[in-house]
Each structure stands twice: as C-alpha cells, then as structure tokens.
Amino acid sequence: MRHLNLIVLFSIVTTLTVVAQQPSPTSADRIVAVVNDQIILKSDIDQGVADYIRQANFNQQNIQFSKELWYSFLESEIDNKVLIEKAEIDSVVISDEDVNQQMDNRVSQLIQQAGSERALEEAFGKSIIQLKADFRDEFREQMTANQVRQIKFNDIKITRPEVKEFFESIPKDSLPTIPEQVSVSHIVKLPKPKTDAKQSSYEFAQSLRDSIVNQGVPLEDLARRHGMDGSAAQGGQLPMMGLNELVSEYSAAAAALQPGQISEVVETEFGFHVIRLDERVGDKIQTSHILIRVDAAQLDDATAIEELNLIRDSLLNNKNLTFSGMAIRNSEDPSTAKSGGKIIDPQTGERLIALNRLDPALYRIVLLMDEVGQISEPKPFNPNNANAGKAYRIVRLDRQIPEHVADFNIDYQRLRNIALQQKQSRVFQEWLQQLREEIYIEYRIPKMENGVGK
C-alpha cells in the first residue's frame, strides 16, 4: 500500500500532473522491510522521496536527496504499518461511509485548489469516481493509522498548571507577538440552475440516449464527444465499484439494469447521466456513462442574493433571531451549517483565526467591518464543495482581538493547544517505540547506524 504517494495525491495540488504520471514499480523492485505480514517496497519509498523533493523544489526549497532522508521515509512507513497492526489488535475499523465522506472532503479541497472539477480530472486523465476507486484501499489504511494515532492522542491530557509551566518557561523577551485575530460565521446560498438551463441539459442528455437506443450510436463515441467528466476520454467507462461507492441515484438506476441495458436519463448532484450496465459481480458493478452538466453560467444568482438579503434584514430587525440559528436553518454549506455557520481554522481547529490567515475573499470582507456583530452584505465566493462551483454568503464578525504580546489569560486556549501538542508528540513517540518492540519488524536492508533508521 503506497501511503506516501497517497499523501502526495491528497495534499499537494501544485504537482498534480507530475503525480498523475508516476510510473508503476518495475520488475526489479525489492522488499526493504516487513512488518508482520505487511511488506514495504523500495519503489514506494523511492517514489515518496522523489515526490517530496519535487514539491520542495516547486516551493523553491533546496532539498537534496540523502541517505538520511530516504531512511526517514522508510521509518515513517514502518510506523504506519505498526499502527495498522495495532488497529487489527484493537479492532479499530473504518467504515465505508467514513472512507467515502473523508475522500469526498479531500477531493473537494483538491477541486477548490485546482480551480474546477474538470481541471482536476484533466490533470489525472481520470474521472473523480475513478480517482476515488484507485486510491480507496490506500486511503482506508491511512485513515486507520490516523485513527489509532488519534485514539492515543485523545488519551493524553494536560492540566492548567502544566500549561502555566510551559508558558513560564518562555523567556519574557521571547514571548511572541500574537497578530490580530477574528472569529467569523457565515450563511451560504448556492445558486440554483435556471429552469431553462436545467431543462436544456436534460433534453440534450435525452437526445444522446435516443441516439444510443433508437439509432444504434455507440455510447463510447458519444461519451468521447460530449461527456463532461474525466471518464469521457475512456468512452465513459468507470471501474468496477461497490454500489455504496456511487451516489445513490446513480447506483439505484444502474443496479436496476441488466448488462448491456441503457438507463433513462438520471439526475444526480453532478448533472444528468445516461448509464449502461457493463458487468455485475455480487454487489459491485462496472458501468459506462455520459455525464451532461448544467451550464454553470446559467445559475440563478439573483435569487440566491435576494434570499441572503432577506435573512440579513431579518437578523438586523429582529433581535430575537440569532445568526447561528438562521445558519442552522438556512445555510447550504454542509461543513458549517450544523455548527451555526462557524468558520474554523482548518489547520488548528480553532475559532480564532489570524487575520492574515483568512482566505483572500473572507479577508476583504472582514477588513471592512468596524465592530463585532456586524453582518456583511451578500458576497460571492468559491465554496469548499465538489458539487458547487459558485456560492454567495453573508458573514458575521463574532469576535476580534487586536495584535498583542502573548498573554496567559487572553491566549490560554492557544497556549494550551501548543503545550498539549508537544506533550502528545512526546508521549506518542514513546508509546510508538514500545509498539515497535512488541510487533515483528524485519529490515531486508542494512539499518542506519547513527541516524533515523537505527
């Protein structure tokens, strides 16, 4: 299982085309380590190191290959395998639903950074569905290792006196300056397709189906000419996948077909599909399809803006309404609606976010706010949602803390998080070393004597 390549796939967007063209292991490959019955191949470590150096060079960091670097990647992969063995011992299982949800979230992030779903698919030469299928098993293993790690981290606590001791260990003249921070919430509306645009896409999909069913035109030819996802280049063919790995409308329609049969036009969150069932094996199916998307230029922006203006007016004129309550009832951002629209720093998980760490669109909105409680007018932005290319939102400034020298009381939560992370890292490494002594590990190459591999 190629954990290192998987990390590159789901965390690095700037080298998508490089990763997409990576060669597979050659026949000269060799096993460099074994953890119980799990093997680690030299090619996997080589590829992980190469990807890391490529990305570093892209970011203008001068990282050179070294023996120490190579062995650090090997040790990291051995750690992953050890954690997977611990997961089996402790019966830690990641459900299909959790895998699907996390993969959807990661792919959404990639799409947002790549610019569009089509740009991501073109970079890899595969559809989103194919990408998910290709990396599902590796992603499950990574999630399993992370879950074991998180379980251990959750067992590690820290007390206020420990945080105080950590803070007081920092020399007074070395206390950092904390930049201006804000906490914000938003309510999001996704513009719906205009009726005529949606109808036009449906009718086009219907005409393609008629050409296949009534005129005998091969689905593959039409998919290559008209398909709007990454599978078009392959004649619309998708890999063998479990029914639970596909969106429900697609899987229900495909499951009702006999091999070779063509579905009616099926609407999903991606657009309109014409589906052919190619093969069925148990609860897995292989299908080919043509996807026709609704023209993004034909979205009803005005209605979305009007809805947000009505919500904003209600909040400004009715003191009994709360922004969080309106967000729960009205926001169409699945990642924040349930929490009342609260925006969280994705790296730290904290509500307070340094002003200079806000995304540019949000930064421009907050910069014009004069006081806590102010609500912006509707503004456009690109949501972190694979199926929404455009959205509008209103933003509320919930809290604002000016720039200041770190203070134990004001910055307690941040200091606590830093102190806890240091403690977690130390205790976890000690625990992991114990596991490595209890689980069978065999090196098939010489270990480093005075480095990371010792």
Tokens representing 55 are 């990305």
Tokens representing 53 are 């150096």
Reference 74, options 106, 122, 42, 98; nearest CA is: 42
Q: What is the DSSP letter of 172?
A: G
In this predicted structure, what is the pLDDT of residue 28? 59
Instruction: Catalogue the E-assigned strands of 282-337.
Output: 284-292
- Locus of tokens 């077909």: 257
Element (H, E) at 393: strand 391-401
| Cβ neighbours for 407, distance < 8 A, ≥ 6 positions apart | none
Residue 150 has φ and ψ, to the nearest 5°, of -70, -40
User: How far apart, in whole angstroms, are the C-alpha atoms of residue 5 and residue 15?
Assistant: 12
**Pair type for strands 181-189 and 353-354:** antiparallel
Q: What is the DSSP letter of 39?
A: E
In this predicted structure, what is the pLDDT of residue 346? 81
pLDDT per residue as tens digits for the range 281-303? 888 899 999 999 887 667 788 89
CA 122, chain centre distance (Å): 18
**pLDDT surpassing 50 at residue 3:** no
In this predicted structure, what is the pLDDT of residue 389? 60
Q: Hey, what amino acid is at 314?
A: S
pLDDT per residue as tens digits for the range 60-92? 788 899 999 999 999 999 999 999 999 999 999
Question: What mean pLDDT is reported for the chain?
Answer: 87
Query: Lowest-pLDDT range, 137-141, 273-277, 360-364?
Result: 137-141
In DSSP terms, which residues pair with 183 in a beta bridge? 399
The sign one gets for the Cα dihedral 365, 367, 371, 373 is: positive
What's the Rg (C-alpha) of the chain? 26
Strands across the sheet with 271-281, in order? 241-242, 284-292, 271-281, 266-268
In this predicted structure, what is the pLDDT of residue 123? 76
Query: Lowest-pLDDT range, 107-116, 219-228, 230-239, 425-434?
Result: 107-116
**pLDDT surpassing 50 at residue 6:** no
pLDDT per residue as tens digits for the range 108-121? 777 776 777 788 88
CA angle, residues 34, 35, 37, in degrees to nearest 5: 85
Q: How confident is the model at residue 32 (pLDDT cuts 50, 70, 90)?
A: very high
Element (H, E) at 255: helix 248-255
Q: How confident is the model at residue 16 (pLDDT cuts 50, 70, 90)?
A: very low
**pLDDT surpassing 60 at residue 19:** no
Domains belonging to the chain, first-starting first, are 3-157+424-443 (1.10.4030.10), 177-192+299-405 (3.10.50.40), 195-297 (3.10.50.40)
pLDDT per residue as tens digits for the range 391-441? 999 999 999 999 999 999 989 988 998 999 999 999 999 999 999 999 999
Reference 378, options 288, 275, 292, 307; nearest CA is: 307
In this predicted structure, what is the pLDDT of residue 15? 41
Q: In the chain, how many H helices and how many E strands?
A: 15, 13
| Cβ neighbours for 298, distance < 8 A, ≥ 6 positions apart | 193, 194, 196, 197, 200
- Let me know: does 119 contact 176? Beta carbons within 8 Å: no
In this predicted structure, what is the pLDDT of residue 309? 95
Element (H, E) at 154: helix 128-155
Element (H, E) at 182: strand 181-189
Query: Lowest-pLDDT range, 1-10, 44-53, 165-174?
Result: 1-10
